[in-house]
Amino acid sequence: MKLGDRRWLGHTGKPKSFVSLASLSLIFLGYFSPVLATAETRSQRADAILHRAMQDRKIPGMQVAVVIDGRIVFSPSYGVANLQTPVRVTSKTLFSINSITKAFTGIAVMEEVEKGRLNLSVPISTYLTDIPATWGRVNTLQLLGQISGLPDIDAYDDIDFSGIRDEKAAWAWALSQPASPPGEKRDYCQTNLRLVQLIINKLEGRDPDASLIDEELSKAHMVATAYGDSRDVIKNKSQPYRLGDNGAIRNHFERFGPMMRANSGLNTTADDMARWMISVLDGRQMSRESREVMWTLVSLNDGSRSSFALGWDREEHANYTSVGGVGGTRSAFSLYPGYNVGVVILTNLMGANPEELADEVAASFVPGIKLSGVTKFRAEAEKTRYVNLATMLNAAKAQGASSSFDQEELESWIGRLLFSKKAQRALAIAEFDSELFPTSIRPLELIAEAEGASGHLEAETGTYRKILSRDPSNVTALAFFKSR
C-alpha cells in the first residue's frame, strides 16, 4: 500500500490517525530510506532528460533501460509505436536497431577467435577464396575497424537510407569496383561486415546468409530479438519514421536482407538489450581478455587510431570510458565498464540521435560519471532548449573550449543537427567550431552546408569561395559550383 493509494485515506479524504502494521513494515523495509529516495530522484532526473529530448526532437516513441551491477534499475516506455493508429509503446514493443547489429557481430567474431578458428590479423584470403586479390589482402581487424579501403556495397543503390533493393546485383557491382590500399584511411563501408558474415558462416559450416548470433542470444536469455524489416509482418513492431525536408515526420521504409545480417536488421526491446548488456559485462559472452581486444580501436598504417573497434564504438572522456553502438541515428547503447553500467535508448525516429543522451542518463544514476567538454556543453544546451546558445558559446570560448573541446566530437554533433533539420543551431555551432579551429577547412564546409540548409544561399556561395581560396582542390566546394 502506497501513500498515494486512496485505501490509505478515510471517508473524509484525510489520513487515518493510526499507523498500521503494514505501514510499519514499509518503514522497516526501507520504504522511506534515503537510498530509495535517492534512487527515485535519479530516475526522475533521467526521466526529465528523456521527456525533454522527445519533445525537442519530435520523437514519437522510445524505450530505455539502465543496468547497474547486473540488474535492470530503470526501464520506462514513452510515446507511441505508431502515429497512424496510434498504439502506445510498451515494454514489448520492438524497435529496429540498425547498425547496433555490428556490435553483436563483434561478439560473434570473438567467439570464433576463442574457438581457435579465426586469426584477426591474417589476410581474409585465408578464409575466402572467391574474392578479388585486392580484397583478399585485407584482414578481419581492418574490416571491423572500417579501414579496409573496399568499395561500399551501399553505394550501389541505397540512396535514401532504406537499404539495398537488390543485394545480389549490389554485391556483383561491388566486386567489380577498384579497391584502395587497406589501412590508409577510415571509410565506413557495409561491404566489410558482409565479408565478416561470409567468413564466420564458412567457419561454422552454415549457409552464407545465416544468422551469426544465435549462440549469443542464448547466452543472454534474449527472448524478443530477431531479424526483420518493413516487408515483414512483425507482431509488436514499431513503425519507423524520419524527418522530411520541411521537418515534418514521414513514414520510413527499411530493407535489411539476409546478405546484410552482420550489418543490420535486428529488432529488439530495451529489456532484451539490457539482458544482452548484462551478459557482456558479466563475462558470459567472452573472457575479459577477448572483450578488451574487441573494444580496442583498430590502428591505421600510420599508427593513428580508427574511431571503430571490432564492430563497436569507443569514446574516452575525462573520467570514464564508454563503448557501444549507434543504429540508424535512432537507437543507441553505451556500456561503462569501469562502473559496470549500461544504457540503451531505442526510438522510432531517424535523426533522434539518442547516443547524445546516453551519457547524460548514465550520469543521472552514477555520480562518478561526470560530463565534460562537448558532451557537457551539449547537455547544458539541450537543457535550456538552446535559448541562450550564443551566450553559452561565447562563455565556452572564454573558458578555453579550444583545449577542452574535441574537434571531431564537435563536428559530429553539428552533422547530427544538420541531419535532424536543425540548421540554425548547426550554423551557430559551426561558426564557433571555425573560431576554435581556424586553420581547419572542415568547419567552413559545415558552415556552408548549414547556410544552404537555412536558405542563406548568397552566404553559402561566399563560404564555398572562401574554401576554394584556401584549398583550390576541395572536393565539396568544387562539387557545389559544378552543380550551379
Model pLDDT, residue 164: 76
Q: Look at 418-422, 436-440, 445-449, 456-460 and tell me which has the smallest mean pLDDT.
A: 418-422
- Shortest CA distance to 147 belongs to which of 293, 294, 308? 308
C-alpha cell belonging to residue 185: 584511411
- Residue type (1 letter), 133: A
pLDDT at 403 over 90: no
pLDDT tens digits along 33-55: 333 446 668 999 999 999 999 99
Asked if the model's pLDDT at residue 209 lies above 90, the reply is: yes
State pLDDT tens for residues 81-110.
999 999 999 999 999 999 999 999 999 999
- Given a cut of 60, whether residue 298 has pLDDT beyond it is yes
What pLDDT, in 10s, does the model give residues 130-177?
Answer: 999 999 999 999 999 999 999 999 888 755 566 677 888 889 999 999
136-141 CB contacts, 8 Å cutoff, 24+ apart? 137/182, 138/182, 138/195, 139/182, 140/109, 140/196, 140/199, 141/298, 141/310
Give the phi and the psi of residue 316 in degrees, each rounded to 5: -105, 125
Sorting pLDDT into bands at 50, 70 and 90, what band is 348?
A: very high
Whether a cis peptide bond, with omega within 30° of 0, leads into 86 is yes
Q: What is the pLDDT of residue 246?
A: 82
294 touches 106 (CB < 8 A): yes
**Fold classification of 95-365 (topology level):** Beta-lactamase (3.40.710)
- Residue 282: CB partners within 8 Å, gap ≥ 6? 70
pLDDT at 72 over 50: yes
Architecture of domain 373-482: Alpha Horseshoe (1.25)
pTM: 0.88
- Mutual orientation of helices 475-482 and 442-454 as an angle, nearest 10°? 30
Mean pLDDT throughout 280-287? Answer: 97
DSSP secondary-structure letter at 410? H
Contacts of residue 400, defined as CB under 8 A and 6 or more positions apart, other chains included, come to none
Q: Which amino acid is at 79?
A: G
Residue 464 clears pLDDT 70, i.e. is over it: yes
Give the mean pLDDT of the chain: 90
Q: Is 320 left (phi over 0), alpha (psi -120 to 50) or beta?
A: beta
Specify the pLDDT at position 154: 85
Percent of the chain with pLDDT over 90: 82
Q: What is the pLDDT of residue 18?
A: 32
pLDDT for 402:
84
**Sequence ranges of the domains in the chain:** 95-365, 373-482
With bands split at pLDDT 50, 70 and 90, how would you rate the model's confidence at 303? very high
Mean pLDDT along residues 378-403 = 92
Provide mean pLDDT across the span 208-232.
95
CB 376 within 8 A of CB 360: no
